[in-house]
C-alpha cells in the first residue's frame, strides 16, 4: 500500500493539465516532461522497448516468459488532467481508517467532503482514502490508472516465476480534451486487445460510451452608444442568452443519468459585439446524437431569421463514438475482464460510461479496448477522492487479466 501511495503522490504532484487552445501535441509542456519521467521509470523497473515519441506517447513492453504463443494484451491510461479545474500545486491528503464522517478538506475555507452530498463515502468506511486539500483536483483521472499499470508491471518483473505472455503498455496525452488517440499507433502498439484503466469506482467494466461532439457557437452583435441604440444595437450577450434558453432546459448533465444524453455549456465569454459559447453534445444512441447536432443548426437558423443572417454561426466537430458496436463482436474481452474481477473478489459492474475514454476511439481504429475501473470518485474537481484499496484491487485485476490471457491457446 505504501509504495502504491508514494507512486500515486509523485504522479499527481506533476501538473499535466491539458489545454485545448494551444494547438500543440501534447497540448501542455508538463505532459511531455511527465512522459519522459514515466519512460525512465519503466526502463528502471525492467521493461523493454520503452519509447516516448514526439507527441508524448509512452510505450513499453513486458516480454513474454512462456514458450507458446498467446494473445498480446495491452493496458492504456492517460497522463493529462482536466482543463476545467486547477491542477497546480496538488497536495493530496490521506485519511486512514475512514470513520464515515464528513471530511474537512480545507479548514480555513470550510470546504467539506460531505456524506450528504456524496453518500458513496459510506461505502468506504474502514478504508484509506486519498483526497484533495480543497484547492485543486486530485488527478486520479487518470494517474491512478498509470500507477496501477506500472505497479502491476513492476510486480511481474520482480517475480519472473509467474508465467505470462507479452504485455504492451501505453500512456497517452490530451485525453481530457478529446485528442488522446489522435496519434496512437495501433500497429506499433501491437496488441490483440487492450483495456483503458480509466473508469471510476471499484468494479466498473464498460464497453458503452457516449457519442460525442464539440460545438462552438458565435453570436455577432453590433455596438452603438447606449443612449442612441434604439433600432441599431444588437447585443450579442442577450442573443446568446436567448439561444441558451431555446435548448431543452432539463437535457443538461445536472438533470440526466444512465442512458440519457445532454447539451452541456462548458464556457461562455463575450461583450456586446461578440459572444462565444462552447458546448459538448453527448448521447448513447447514434440517431439521437445526430438529432442533437441538427437541433443546434436549427436554432442558429432561428436566431438568424429573427436578428439577421450572419448573427449566429455554429461549428460542430465529432469527437468520438460509442465503442459498443466494435466490442460486441469480440465480447470475449469483456468476459475475460469479468472473470478476472470475480477471481480477485471484485464484483463486476457492467455499466455505460457517461463520458469517453481513449479506448472508444482506439476501438474504432481496430484495437478492441473496453474500460476498467481505476477506483476514483468525483473526478475533475476539489471533491475528488480515491480509496487505496480500490487501487490495490485494480492492480490485482490487471495481474489476473494477464494471467488469464496467458492461458488462451
Give residue limits of the domains in the chain: 2-209+322-405, 217-319
pTM of the model: 0.89
If one counts every other C-beta atom within 10 angstroms of the C-beta of residue 161, the result is: 5
pLDDT of residue 178: 85
2-209+322-405: CATH topology: Aminopeptidase (3.40.630)
pLDDT of 409 reads 75
Fold of 217-319: Alpha-Beta Plaits (3.30.70)
Burial class (CB in 10 A: 0-12, 13-18, 19+), 34: buried
Q: What is the pLDDT of residue 142?
A: 94
| 389 given a catalytic annotation | no
Tens place of pLDDT per residue across the chain (409 aa): 889 999 999 999 999 999 988 999 999 999 999 999 999 999 999 999 999 999 999 999 999 999 999 999 999 999 999 998 999 999 999 999 999 999 999 999 999 999 999 999 999 999 999 999 999 999 999 999 999 999 999 999 999 999 999 999 999 999 999 899 999 999 999 999 999 999 999 999 999 999 999 999 999 999 999 999 999 999 999 999 999 999 999 999 999 999 999 999 999 999 999 999 999 999 999 999 999 999 999 999 999 999 999 999 999 999 899 999 999 999 999 999 999 999 999 999 999 999 888 999 999 999 999 999 999 999 999 999 999 999 999 999 999 999 999 998 7
* Catalytic one of 41, 80, 154, 204: 80
CA distance 409 to 407: 6
In this structure, the number of other CB atoms found within 10 A of the CB of residue 114 comes to: 13
Dist CA 249 CA 262 (whole Å): 10
Nearest to 80 by CA among 177, 153, 152: 177
197 grid coordinates: 484503466
Annotated catalytic, 175? yes
| Strands annotated E in 222-297 | 262-270, 274-283
CA angle centred on 326, ends 287 and 345, rounded to 5°: 115
Q: 128, 39 in Cβ contact below 8 A?
A: no
Q: Annotated catalytic residue: which of 141, 142, 174, 175? A: 175
Dist CA 173 CA 151 (whole Å):
20
Q: What is the pLDDT of residue 408?
A: 87
Q: How far apart are the first and last CA of the chain?
A: 34
Amino acid at each position: 500500500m505504501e509504495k502504491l501511495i508514494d507512486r500515486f503522490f509523485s504522479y499527481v504532484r506533476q501538473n499535466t493539465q491539458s489545454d485545448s487552445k494551444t494547438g500543440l501535441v501534447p497540448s501542455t509542456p508538463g505532459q511531455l516532461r511527465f512522459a519522459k519521467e514515466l519512460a525512465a521509470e519503466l526502463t528502471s523497473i525492467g521493461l523493454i522497448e520503452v519509447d516516448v515519441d514526439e507527441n508524448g506517447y509512452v510505450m513499453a513492453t513486458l516480454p513474454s516468459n512462456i514458450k507458446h504463443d498467446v494473445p498480446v494484451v495491452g493496458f492504456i491510461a492517460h497522463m493529462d488532467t482536466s482543463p476545467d479545474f486547477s491542477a497546480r500545486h496538488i497536495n493530496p491528503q490521506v485519511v486512514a481508517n475512514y470513520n464515515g464522517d464528513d471530511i474537512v478538506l480545507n479548514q480555513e475555507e470550510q470546504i467539506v467532503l460531505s456524506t450528504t452530498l456524496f453518500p458513496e463515502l459510506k461505502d468506504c468506511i474502514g478504508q484509506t482514502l486519498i483526497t484533495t486539500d480543497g484547492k485543486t483536483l486530485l488527478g486520479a483521472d487518470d494517474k491512478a490508472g498509470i500507477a496501477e499499470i506500472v505497479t502491476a508491471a513492476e510486480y511481474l518483473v520482480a517475480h519472473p516465476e509467474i508465467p505470462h505472455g507479452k504485455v504492451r503498455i501505453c500512456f497517452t496525452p490530451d485525453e481530457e480534451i478529446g485528442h488522446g488517440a489522435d496519434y496512437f499507433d495501433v500497429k506499433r502498439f501491437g496488441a490483440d486487445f487492450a483495456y483503458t484503466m480509466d473508469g471510476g469506482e471499484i468494479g466498473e467494466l464498460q464497453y458503452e460510451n457516449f457519442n460525442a461532439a464539440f460545438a462552438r457557437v458565435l453570436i455577432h452583435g453590433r455596438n452603438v452608444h447606449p443612449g442612441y441604440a434604439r433600432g441599431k444595437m444588437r447585443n450579442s450577450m442577450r442573443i446568446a442568452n436567448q439561444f441558451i434558453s431555446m435548448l431543452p432546459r432539463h437535457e443538461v448533465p445536472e438533470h440526466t443519468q444512465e442512458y440519457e444524453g445532454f447539451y452541456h455549456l462548458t464556457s461562455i465569454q463575450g461583450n456586446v459585439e461578440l459572444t462565444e459559447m462552447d458546448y459538448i453534445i453527448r448521447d448513447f444512441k447514434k440517431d439521437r446524437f445526430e438529432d442533437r447536432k441538427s437541433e443546434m443548426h436549427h436554432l442558429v437558423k432561428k436566431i438568424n431569421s429573427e436578428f439577421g443572417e450572419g448573427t449566429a454561426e455554429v461549428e460542430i466537430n465529432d469527437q468520438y463514438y460509442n465503442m459498443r458496436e466494435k466490442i460486441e463482436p469480440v465480447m470475449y474481452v469483456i468476459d475475460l475482464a469479468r472473470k478476472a474481477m470475480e477471481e480477485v473478489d471484485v464484483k463486476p459492474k457492467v455499466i455505460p460510461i457517461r463520458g469517453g475514454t481513449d479506448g472508444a476511439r482506439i476501438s474504432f481504429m481496430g484495437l478492441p479496448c473496453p474500460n476498467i475501473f481505476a477506483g476514483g470518485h468525483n473526478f475533475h474537481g476539489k471533491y475528488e477522492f480515491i480509496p487505496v484499496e480500490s487501487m490495490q484491487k485494480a492492480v490485482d485485476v490487471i495481474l489476473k487479466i494477464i494471467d488469464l490471457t496467458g492461458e488462451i491457446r
